[in-house]
Chains A and B, each alone.
Chain A
């Protein structure tokens, strides 16, 4: 719009005297949010990058040390565990959440009587506080007092008691199951909303053209869902890669780094007061994360227009 008006509608009413006032009003309204975001997000973000290049510890300002923190981290085994585990958690849990969310959304999208009740129940894990969900799973996984071992042994599905969170072979899988349980409703509801907004005419046209059910699914449903699936994948990957609660409350990164991820590693760095190194852990994630965020931002901005 190239009309010389400050409000979006191009109304040729006597606006000019108030022009500056309207602009000032607009800036005044947006200022608190922008100032807070600059102070509490943008500045700390840049500050974190600076800190990662210093030897800051609690109570000292720290000196510039170049890439020393990054080199130090790259020499530790824990760091490589964190890289690998973060990739595994993001990939496996997002694929599972997509599969479960899509499947359940398709089921609920049918005109089944009672689908509203199913939808309400399926959303429950998301309505629970995350810390409650993961503490509950921690109890569920216990060898003594845990519901999963109880069911496995009593039904005879698996005779031995498993220390799900305490052994290296099962810890990661257990963390993933719990975070899928808590995270799938977001996918479910996003996909369901997208399904409901697919124009009926597309299906009717496909039927007229003689498309089979599978052809309609692959050529109408999936392409219509693609934009939502891409945005959801990006958002979910960013959140999962930076999730702290699920690992911290279930395993705290153990046993022996089997579930160590970046945010938990950074938190441990913070606890040992070596702030420079802790910040370097976070900053290591930036390149990959930055790409995801820029990609997500431009997709979301574009669809907003």
Chain B
């Protein structure tokens, strides 16, 4: 590996120059990483700090550190209850999509990993194509289809539409995890009296728990974040999701940065908690998706 530390360690061990090079390499590495971390954190810091500033401090005397901290922006955002309703809608949509998607995609992935049948290859390709078909191609026809199904402007419609991106990705990822479950364990279970479906539920799924966790988190996150479909499919305020509610804040004439950033903070909290609790699974799943395919 051509990393700085190994440049140093390639030199004869114990020599003074090797020591010095190792130390310099360490300092340079930490320096670069520190700069990167600061650049990553600054926008997040700005979001939080803006949400806690008084309007006059945001607009007239901008500073890196506010003179007074206030929750006024949060009060203002939450006052009429419409943002809380949006958060609630987002939570309903994201949770429902996650449950449906995990169930359907784990069945599909299991079928495609464990059985051989005629259309298996076609299905695999279809799922991958669907995963890579961008939403920007689909939002126009889907809005027409949803209107025809009388599901436009409803949370049910959003849930159905969000399956378009979650099902293909979940099925694709879960196939990788299921392949790692030894077939012998299932067969053992079936000898012990489990049906095939029982073996899937009692053996394969529990053993793929990290994969299921990753898939569930990705689905939840994707649904929680989605803006374009929500923008096109919903019209009334009662079915707005969190990204939509914030989107409409900035399309007004007066740009309320304080309440906007308060909304940003509130919208981030569920995902940040998920990230810190389940980072392991997410990183593994992400690497799995792109790297090992």
Contact = CB atoms under 8 A, between A and B. Distances in A.
Interface of A: 1, 5-9, 11, 22-23, 25-27, 29-30, 32-34, 36-38, 40-45, 47-48, 51, 100, 103-104, 106-112, 118-125, 127-133, 135-140, 142, 144-147, 150-151, 181, 186, 189-190, 192-195, 197-198, 203, 207, 213-214, 216-217, 221, 228, 231-232, 235, 238-239, 241-242, 244-245, 248-249, 262-263, 266-267, 270, 275, 278-279, 282-283, 285-286, 289, 293, 296-297, 299-301, 303-304
A139 B228 contact: no
A197 B1 CA distance: 12
A129 B228 CA distance: 14
Given A30-B112, A145-B62, A270 B50 contact: no
B111 A26 contact: yes
A111 B5 contact: yes
B140 A266 contact: yes
13 contacts: A23-B115, A45-B137, A47-B145, A119-B283, A123-B283, A139-B47, A142-B257, A151-B64, A189-B286, A193-B283, A217-B2, A266-B136, A289-B134
Interface of B: 1-7, 10, 26, 29-30, 32-33, 36-37, 39-44, 46-47, 50, 58-59, 62-64, 104-105, 107-108, 110-112, 114-117, 123-130, 132-145, 160-161, 163-164, 167-168, 171, 175-176, 183, 187, 196-197, 221, 224-225, 227-228, 231-232, 242-243, 246-247, 250, 257, 260-261, 264, 267-268, 271-272, 274-275, 279, 282-283, 286-287, 290-293
Nearest to A265: B136
Nearest to B287: A193
Contacts of B268: 128-129, 132
A45 B141 contact: yes
A107 B141 contact: no
Q: Which label, helix, strand, loop or mixed, suits the secondary structure of the A interface?
A: helix
Contacts, number: 321
A129 B143 CA distance: 24
A120 B115 CA distance: 39
Contact of B272 (A128, A142, A147, A245): A128
Contacts of B105: 33
